[in-house]
């Protein structure tokens, strides 16, 4: 996968820009608030059709303008390709892939594959389970585009089931008549998703263990284990029939508890990944630098799994992350990136100067210049 060129207009503080990238390391160097992250946001938008900063379409349109435009030329499977997206104020978006209109931005998934890492990703280690579910979902949908459909089906069933539970006191008949049916469907979808997530987490763990071994010798040993809400072991989640029965049993034998809580208490919407360093919870005990390295290793794992699946590295987008790591870890990462394409933002002139062979682009008030 190679990101060749991006043309952007009226996106954030970028009035109009065309930036070309090369293989290997590309550095966006500039002072604060010049448009480094904005450009990465545009590149990533072309990958998944949404902002990695959680911004709405309207927030990304340049102040005072009506529409933002992103056009990305990339190479995938040996072919030159293009993704072109127009974002309108009224939430409308118009997207084309290789000149052909696509109806839903979810269809973009898997076309231009990019992995983003920014300081906020520390939340992968520090924050609650929903961050880690989001991580699994994005990474997995990139590998298996149909996974999104399983998730959508699950969310739909969960909504219906929750509505029944909320209404149970007023409408007990409807509850009694249909709850088992919804529980069966939920258990069925939960088993499929758990299996896929558990397999994914096993692969992530293998990779982060390798990363830490190379980075720290044997002194820091990480682990990551899929932690579902039905209390099975990671291995047991690989048996779909068994998981479905386990979930069905939980869902059909705890109605009173669920009615009291007003929601479904078991299912993949409660999943987590148990991340540890030397056997101790990384969220509670790991240092800042260790947490950063773990989060970064998890993002690199996302890229590595992508490469294993497609025989091609994704493009890595690093927003201001290396400046937070010590020299050993930084060198290790830069070394790892040698045979991949990476776009890194930094405000450190020294770092840019020390990166021999990298393409350097200065960023100043939404303008980009190769130096």
Ligand X SMILES: Nc1ncnc2c1ncn2[C@@H]1O[C@H](COP(=O)(O)OP(=O)(O)OP(=O)(O)O)[C@@H](O)[C@H]1O
Q: How far is the CB of 323 from ligand X (least distance, A)?
A: 10
Q: What separation in angstroms does the CA of 214 have from each of 67, 78, 221, 297, 332?
A: 46, 32, 11, 11, 8
Judged by beta carbon distances under 5 to 8 A according to partner kind, the member of ligand X, Mg ion, none in contact with residue 232 is none
DSSP assignment string, 117-132: E-GGGGHHHHS-HHHH
Q: Which residue has the tokens 């999104």?
A: 148
> Which DSSP string do the residues of 54-75 spell out, in sequence order?
---HHHHBPTT-SEEEEEEEEE
Distance CA 36, CA 317 (A): 11
| Residue closer to ligand X (CB basis): 7 or 81 | 7
Binding partner of 35, given ligand X, Mg ion, none, CB within 5-8 angstroms per partner class: ligand X
Q: Which is nearer to Mg ion, 223 or 323 (CB)?
A: 323
Looking at the Cβ atoms of 36 and 276, the one nearer to Mg ion is 36
Q: Segment near Mg ion (CB under 5 A), from 30-38, 220-228, 248-256, 349-357?
A: 30-38
C-alpha triplet 225, 226, 231: angle, nearest 5°: 110
Q: How far is the CB of 118 from Mg ion (least distance, A)?
A: 8
Residue 14 C-beta: closest distance to ligand X, Å: 8
Sheet of 315-319, strands arranged across: 114-117, 315-319, 342-346, 25-29, 359-364, 367-370
Least Å distance, CB 301 to Mg ion, is 24
Residues that bind ligand X (CB under 6 A): 12-13, 30, 32-38, 59-63, 320, 345, 347, 363
Nearest alpha-carbon partner for 31 in 359, 370, 367: 367
Asked if 150 contacts 158 with a C-beta cutoff of 8 angstroms, the reply is no
Cα–Cα distance, 4 to 73 (Å, whole number): 5
Query: Which one of Mg ion, ligand X, none is in contact with 243 (Cβ closer than 5 to 8 A by kind)?
Result: none
Which of 37/111 has CB closer to Mg ion?
Answer: 37
Structure tokens at 49: 């059709």
Partner from ligand X, Mg ion, none binding residue 30, C-beta < 5-8 Å depending on class: ligand X
Cβ atoms of 18 and 6 within 8 Å: the answer is yes
In the bound state with ligand X, the residue whose beta carbon lies nearer, of 55 and 169, is: 55
Q: Would you count residue 38 as binding Mg ion (CB under 5 A)? A: no
Bridge partner list, 295: none
Q: How crowded is residue 328: how many other Cβ atoms within 10 Å of its Cβ?
A: 10
Q: How many residues bind Mg ion (CB under 5 A)?
A: 2
Minimum distance of ligand X from residue 68's CB (angstroms): 8
Question: Considering the rule CB under 5 A, would residue 34 count as an interface residue with Mg ion?
Answer: no
What length does the chain have?
Answer: 371
341 binds, among Mg ion, ligand X, none (CB under 5 to 8 A by kind): none
| Alpha carbons 17 and 59: distance in angstroms, whole number | 19
Q: For residue 171, give the H/E element and its range.
A: none
227 makes contact, choosing from ligand X, Mg ion, none, with CB < 5 to 8 Å by partner type, with: none
Interacting partner of 323 out of Mg ion, ligand X, none (Cβ under 5 to 8 A depending on kind): none
Residue pair 189/271 in contact by the 8 Å Cβ criterion:
no
Tell which one of 21, 25, 28, 37 touches Mg ion (CB under 5 A).
Answer: 37
Q: Which is nearer to Mg ion, 39 or 125 (CB)?
A: 39
5, 21 contact by CB (below 8 A) = yes
* 185 near Mg ion, rule: CB under 5 A: no
Given ligand X, Mg ion, none, residue 219, with its beta carbon under 5 to 8 Å by kind, binds none
Name the binder of 222 from ligand X, Mg ion, none, CB < 5-8 A by kind: none
Q: Which stretch binds Mg ion (CB under 5 A): 5-13, 33-41, 248-256, 289-297?
A: 33-41
Using the minimum distance from each CB to ligand X, give the nearer residue, 59 or 130: 59
Q: Tell whether residue 150 is a contact of Mg ion (CB under 5 A).
A: no
Contacts to Mg ion by CB under 5 A:
36-37
């Amino acid at each position: 996968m190679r990101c060749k060129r991006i043309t952007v207009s009226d996106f954030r503080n970028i009035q109009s820009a065309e930036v070309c990238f090369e293989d290997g390391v590309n550095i966006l160097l500039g002072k604060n608030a010049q448009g480094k992250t904005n450009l990465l946001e545009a590149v990533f938008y072309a990958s998944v059709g949404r902002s990695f900063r959680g911004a709405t379409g309207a927030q990304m349109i340049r102040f005072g303008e009506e529409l933002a435009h992103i056009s990305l030329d990339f190479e995938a499977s040996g072919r030159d390709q293009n993704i072109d997206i127009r974002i309108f104020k009224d939430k409308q978006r118009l997207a084309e892939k290789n000149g052909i209109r696509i109806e839903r931005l979810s269809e973009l998934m898997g076309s231009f594959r990019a992995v983003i890492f920014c300081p906020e990703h520390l939340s992968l280690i520090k924050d609650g389970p929903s961050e880690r579910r989001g991580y699994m979902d994005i990474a997995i949908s990139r590998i298996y585009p149909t996974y999104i459909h399983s998730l959508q089906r699950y969310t739909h069933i969960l909504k219906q089931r929750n509505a029944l539970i909320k209404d149970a006191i007023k409408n007990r008949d409807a509850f009694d008549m249909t709850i088992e049916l919804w529980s069966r469907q939920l258990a069925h979808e939960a088993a499929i998703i758990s299996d896929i997530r558990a397999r994914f987490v096993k692969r992530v763990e293998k990779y982060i263990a390798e990363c830490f071994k190379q980075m720290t010798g044997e002194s820091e040993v990480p682990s990551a284990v899929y932690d579902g809400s039905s209390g099975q072991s990671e291995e047991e989640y690989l048996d779909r029939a068994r998981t479905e029965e386990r979930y069905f049993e939980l869902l059909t034998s705890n109605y009173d508890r669920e009615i009291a809580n007003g929601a479904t208490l078991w299912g993949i919407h409660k999943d987590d990944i148990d991340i540890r360093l030397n056997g101790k919870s990384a969220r509670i005990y790991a240092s800042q630098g260790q947490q950063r390295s773990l989060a970064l290793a998890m993002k690199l794992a996302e890229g590595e799994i992508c490469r294993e699946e497609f025989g091609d590295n994704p493009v890595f987008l690093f927003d201001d992350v290396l400046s937070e790591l010590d020299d050993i870890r930084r060198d290790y990462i830069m070394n790892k990136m040698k045979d991949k394409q990476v776009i890194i933002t930094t405000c450190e002139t020294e770092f840019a100067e020390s990166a021999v062979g990298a393409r350097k682009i200065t960023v100043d008030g939404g303008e980009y210049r190769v130096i």
